[in-house]
Structure 1
Amino acid sequence: MKVLLAGATGYIGSGVLSALLASGHTVTALVRSEEKAAAVRQDGVMPVIADMRDRETVRRVAAASDAVITTASPGDENSAAADIDFSEAALDGLREGGVFIHTSGIWVYGDNGDITENSPSDAPAIVAWHPEADARFLEAPGVRSILIEPAIVYGHGKGIPNVITAAEQTGDLPALQLVGPGTQHWTTVHIDDLAELYVAALEHGEAGARYVGAGGVNPTVRELGEAASHRRGFEGRVLPEDATATIERLGAFGEALMLDQQASGNKAREVLGWKPSRPSLVDEIAGGGYDQS
C-alpha cells in the first residue's frame, strides 16, 4: 500500500516506518523540516515538509495515499489541536475504502488491573481529550478506521522508562529514586513489537476496531527501579516517592505515571495474529539497555 505516515522520525513512528518498509509498503512521511526530510530519504521514503496542522497539504497527500497512519504529537499544549486537525484533514482526503490508523494510548483507561478494548475510559488530564476524539475518528464513514492504544513503549534505550534512572543519594548508601511509591504497575510494549502491530492492523484490522498494544508484561515501578538500581551498583536499593511529590515534580505527566494498570493485549493476538516476542522491560534494564551515559 501507499501509506502516509505522520511522526515518522519520532520514537513510535520511526519503528512503524521500519516495519512498513520491511513489509513492502511504500511510505510518504510528513515531516516538519529539511533535516527530518533528509533523515527519511536515506530509507527510500518520500518526505513532504509541512506542519501536521496544515490541513490543505495533509488533505492533498492523503488523497494520493491508500492509507494514513498518525503517530505524531507535538508533546505540548497544542497536541490535541494538532492531532485533531491532522486527523480531520486526512479523513477528508482519503479515498473511499482507504485506511486510517490513529494512535491513542493506554492511559485513557485510568487505574485498571485488567484493561481490554471494552474497558471504560477514565483518562487523566494529560490525555483527557482523547476518548471523545478517538471515538469520533473510529466512526468516520467510508474508510477503514482503526485505533491503536499503545502501552508504555520501551526499547533501544528510549522512551518513558528513562524517567526511572536518576540516582538519589541518601546518607552513605546511594539508592534509586522511584517515580511514585513503586507499587503501581505499568503496562508495557517493546517498540519493535508495537511497530509490527501497526502493520498487522493496516493489513488485517477491521473497520471501527481498537487494539490495545500491550505486550502482556506489567511490572511494578519498584521492579523496574530495582533492576536499574542493580545496574548502577546500588544493590537494588530504591527510595519510594510520595505520589503528591511526584505530581508536583512532574505535573500532569507525573499524574499519568501514578496510574496502576495491567493489560494482556490478547485481542490483537487473537484477531490479528500479533506475536510480541521481544525481551521484557525488566530484562532490557537488567541487560544494560537503559544505562545512563
Structure 2
Amino acid sequence: MEILLTGATGYIGNAVLERLLATGHEVRAVVRSEERAAAVRAVGVTPVVGDLLDTGWLRGQLDTVQGAIHTAAGSDENDPALNDSVIDAVLGSFAGTDKPFVHTGGVWTYGEGSDIRDDDPQQPPAITSWRPAGEERLLAADVRASVVRPGIVYGHGAGIPAMLAGGPRDDSGALVLIGSGEQHWPTVHVDDLADLYLHVLGNAPGGSAYVGASGTNPTVRELGEAVVGPDGSVVRGSAEEASGRFGPAFAEALLLDQRSSAPAARSLGWQPSAPALVDLLRDGYPADR
C-alpha cells in the first residue's frame, strides 16, 4: 500500500516510517525542506516537499495514495491550524472511500484518570485543549479515520523521560522530581507505538480512538529512583518549580495522574513487548534500546 506520512523525521514519525518500510509499504513523506527530503530519500522513501498548512496542496497529495498517517507536530502555536488543515484535506480527499487515515492525538486530552478507557470523555489541560474538536469532527465523518492517543513515549534515549533523567539536582545532589512524583504516567515505547499505528492502519474500521499505552504506569518517583540508582536519591518537586522549568501549560500536563491499559488497541491484536521505561532508565537510558 502507498502511504502518505507526515512527520517522518520526527521521534514518533521516524519509528512509524521504519515499520512501514519493514512491512513492505511504499511511503511518500511530506517534508518541509530539501535537506529533509534528502534524508528520507536516502532510506528509500519518496519525499514530497510542501506545507501542511496548504490544505489544497495536501488534498492533492492525498488523492494519489491509498492511505495516510499524520504524526507531524510543530510543538508551537501553529499546531491547531496545522491539524485543522490536515483534517480538512483528509475529509476532502478520503470521504466516501475505504482509504485508512490514522491521526495523532495524545493521552493528556483525557485529563486525570486511574483507568482511562479509549472512549472516555476528554477533559484536556490547556496545552491540548484544541485537540478534541478536530478529532470529534474527524471521527464523525464519512472517512475510515482513527485517532491514536499516545501516552508518555520513551525509547532510544529520547522523549519526555530524557527531560526527567537530565533534571536539576538540589544542593545534596538529589534529583528533583517533576512535581511530587506521586503522579502516574501511562508509558509506551516508541517502537511499540509505531507497531500500533500499523495495526490501526490495517485493522481499524474507523470512527474510534486508541490509547497508545503499554499498560505499565509507573509513578514519576519510581522513574526518578531508577535514574539515580540505589546509591542516589530523589526529592519532591513542586507545581511551582515544574512550571518554572517547563512553562505553566507543559507542567500542568506533566503533573497529571493517569493510568491506562489501552483495551481498544489490544483488541486489534497489538501486543507491546519493549522493555519497561523503569528498566531502561535503570540501565542509563541507552540510545540503542
Q: Same fold (TM over 0.5)?
A: yes
The question of 1:53 aligning with 2:53 is answered yes
Q: Does 1:258 align with 2:255?
A: yes
Superposed counterparts of 1:187-198, under 5 Å = 187-198=186-197
1:279 corresponds to 2:278 = no
| Matched residue type, 1:253 | F
- Summarize deviations over 1:122-177 as a string: whole Å, max 9, x none: 10000001111111111121x21111111110000111111112354444x31111
Secondary structure at the counterpart of residue 135 of structure 2: helix
- Superposed, 1:167-186 pairs within 5 Å as 168-171=168-171, 173-186=172-185
In the TM superposition, residue 102 of structure 1 has moved relative to its aligned partner by 0.6
Q: Does 1:245 find its partner at 2:241?
A: yes
Say whether 1:119 aligns with 2:116.
no
Instruction: Return 5+ residue gaps in structure 2 as ranges.
Output: none
- Alpha-carbon distance change, 45 to 244 in structure 1, aligned in 2, over 3 angstroms: same
Q: Are the counterparts in 2 of residues 163 and 179 from structure 1 also a CA contact under 8 Å?
A: no
Does residue 106 in structure 1 map to residue 107 in structure 2?
A: yes
Shift in Å, 1:290: 5.3
Per-residue deviation, residues 93-120 of structure 1 (Å, max 9, x unmatched): 2362211111100000111110011222
Q: Which moved more, 1:151-160 or 1:51-60?
A: 51-60
| Amino acid paired to 1:157 | G
The normalised TM-score by structure 2 is: 0.95
Quick one: distance in 2 between partners of 1:22 and 1:133?
31
Map Cα deviations across residues 249-291 of structure 1 (whole Å, 9 max, x no partner): 322111100000000112211x211010000100111112259
Report the CA distance between 1:223 and its aligned residue. Answer: 0.6
Assess if the C-alpha contact under 8 Å between 2:83 and 2:134 holds in 1: no
TM-aligned CA deviation for residue 10 of structure 1: 0.4
Whole-Å separation in 2 of the counterparts to 1:93 and 1:219: 41
Letter in 2 for 1:36: R
Matched to 1:275, the amino acid is Q
Provide the TM-score with structure 1 as the length reference.
0.94
Q: Deviations over 1:170-216 (max 9, x none)?
A: 44x31111111100000100000000000011111112021111001
Per-residue deviation, 1:9: 0.5
Runs of 4+ in 1 over 6 A off after TM superposition: none
Counterpart in the other structure of 2:10: 10
CA distance in 2 between counterparts of 1:169 and 1:29 reads 41
Tell me if structure 1 keeps the 8 A contact 2:118–2:263: no
Aligned length: 285
- Matched-pair identity in %: 47
Q: 1:288 to 1:72 in 2, by over 3 A?
A: same
RMSD over equivalenced CA pairs, Å = 1.4
Q: Residue type matched to 1:195 in 2?
A: A
Give, in angstroms, the shift of residue 56 of structure 1. 2.3
